Chains A and B, each alone.
Chain A
Amino acid sequence: MGEERRCAPPHVHLNPPGAQTAVAIRDVSYDYVTNGRVTRALARVSLEIERGTTVAFVGPSGCGKSTLLKLIAGLVRPTEGAIAVDGLTVAGPLKNVGMAFQNPVLLPWRTVLDNLLLPLEILRENQDPRAPARALWGERASALLGTVGLAGAEHRQPRELSGGMRQRVSLCRALIHEPALLLLDEPFASLDAFTREEMWELHQQLRLQREFTGVLVTHDLREAVFLAQTIYVMSASPGRIAHVHRVSLRAPRTLEQLYSAEATALIRDMREQIRPSRRAVA
């Protein structure tokens, strides 16, 4: 079996942060308040994400996976602990991150091209040095659309596209500014099974073309195995990291690999790890 599986307890395997670390999460807890009651959504989460890899967070609903994503992006602040991206502590929304969600949220009044260019418009207005020259925008958008099989769709309206096509545009929008960090919150959950698998392959293809660090939140264990190098299984109420798995399927990965003995065993293990936690919540 070509994979090393670790079920070590969390927050003990921290290495000193090196140049390879893109995201370092240290002892992060997060509380939220509803109707005056404090609920702990995340409890003492610690981990490091290596640059250029993709990690996945799986676990039952309400285990704080999405919250963790928002914490990394700086959209919410941890109650305790700290998060560092590229060695700098996150103190507010990061500025060069790509995000995509289950809901593709395209702007219906803009064409596909204008939706894609929105991030570049923002960067240019803010005189961000990462904004490419205006002359390159169209070219870059077209190239990206070509990669996801939407060549020539620049001037179509979002409403004319199928769910899968919209999701591809949303993914392109998350990548157009070539972010160092791509955060995906169940981006393919609303797609049919075949389209979803196409999207996995597409994501892999994009990763082979350009380097970015990926963080994926998903309910789909096969998706996690296909896309991630490291999978964190979380438990709920409060969310903790219960198990860590390294996925060492060869790259580039194929859908067939998901039916291999090692992938099947890994998926079965994760299912068993998530189920008791589900029962506990119920």
Chain B
Amino acid sequence: MSPHLRRLVLPLVVFGGLVLVWEMAVPALRIQQIVLPAPSGVVRTMVQTAGPIAFHARHTLVTTLIGFAAAVGLGLLLGFLIGASATANDALYPLLVGFNSIPKAAVVPMLVMWFGIGAVPAVLTAFLLAFFPVAVNVALGLATLEAELRDVLRVLGASRWQVFRKVGVPRTMPLFFASLKVAVSSAFVGSVISETVASNAGIGYLMAVAASDFNTRLAFGGLFVLAAMGVALYGVFAAIERRITAWAYAE
């Protein structure tokens, strides 16, 4: 088996094995379906409620991506600012770190107070969770620019802007794209948290409703969908990263 295939197949085999153990353990240990449904039952429920699940999944995806897009925009801007200017770095970086250490779930009630129940708090929570990794990685890429490289260009008459454009930006791209896969996962977490607390649509909302009805199968169904979406979002941005910044990975 080629190493590439191996890396693809092995986790799938382990995953299949775990699901199988779960499937057999539920009847064998006489676990009640309301506590832990067997995976087959969960899948059956998912097929039966495919329409509503698809609607809520789409809603979650859209809120996640809107929050993520805003986070990328502001993260890039802030990252460039902090990375390019020592003053901006000294002034803003500690605030950024401090802000990032606030558990964002605690901000959701505030957002609901201001914007009401719905998609807006979800988008904002996604944004709040996602912009930090982007800003920090972009700033890091710029701040670690080799002094020699800057000197080589400066003595050609290059302006700071030219150094930034010709060297700073391309050099930061691998870190930027690496941050995107982290950021999109964070955005996804953010929108689902917010949906769970205060929304009337989205997989988080679906799961909250299912849980309050003791519809464990549907709650697990929502969890399966979240897992699949999370992996897919991560995978898409990991693939984009590999394509665009191949030079940073080749030996």
Contacts and interface: CB of A to CB of B under 8 A. Distances in A.
Contact of B155 (A95, A107, A108, A125): A95
Contacts of A122: 153, 156-158, 162, 166
Interface residues of B, number: 23
A183 B251 CA distance: 31
B155 A75 contact: yes
A93 B160 CA distance: 12
Residue from A70, A105, A174 whose CB has the most chain B CB atoms within 10 Å: A105
Interface in B118-171: 146, 148-149, 151-159, 162, 166-167, 170-171
A110 B155 CA distance: 20
B250 interface: yes
B114 interface: no
A263 interface: no
Interface in A60-80: 70, 73-75
B166 A108 contact: no
Q: How large is the interface on A (under 10, 10 to 19, 20 to 34, 35 or more residues)?
A: 20 to 34
Contacts of B170: 107, 109
A123 interface: yes
Interface string B225-251: 000000000000000000001011011
Nearest to B167: A107
A74 B162 contact: no
Contact of A96 (B152, B153, B157): B157
A121 interface: yes
B156 to A, nearest CB: 5
B243 to A, nearest CB: 13
Interface in B195-251: 245, 247-248, 250-251
A123 B157 contact: yes
A206 to B, nearest CB: 17
Question: Chain B at the A interface: mostly helix, strand, loop or mixed?
Answer: helix
Contact of B152 (A108, A109, A173): A173
A166 B146 CA distance: 16
B148 A103 contact: yes
B173 to A, nearest CB: 8
Contacts of A99: 148, 151-152, 155
Contact of A109 (B149, B151, B159, B247): B247
Nearest to A104: B148
A264 B187 CA distance: 68
A93 B150 CA distance: 11
B248 A95 contact: no
A93 B154 contact: yes
A274 interface: no
B250 A157 contact: yes
A108 B159 CA distance: 21
A159 interface: yes
A269 to B, nearest CB: 32
B85 to A, nearest CB: 19
Contacts of A125: 162
Contact of B251 (A93, A95, A103, A159): A159
A119 interface: yes
- Shortest beta-carbon contacts, A-B, top 8: A95-B157, A97-B155, A101-B148, A105-B149, A93-B154, A109-B247, A122-B156, A122-B158
Given A101-B148, A101-B152, A109-B247, 16 more contacts: A73-B155, A74-B155, A75-B154, A94-B157, A95-B155, A95-B156, A96-B156, A98-B155, A99-B155, A103-B146, A107-B149, A108-B248, A118-B153, A122-B153, A174-B152, A183-B155
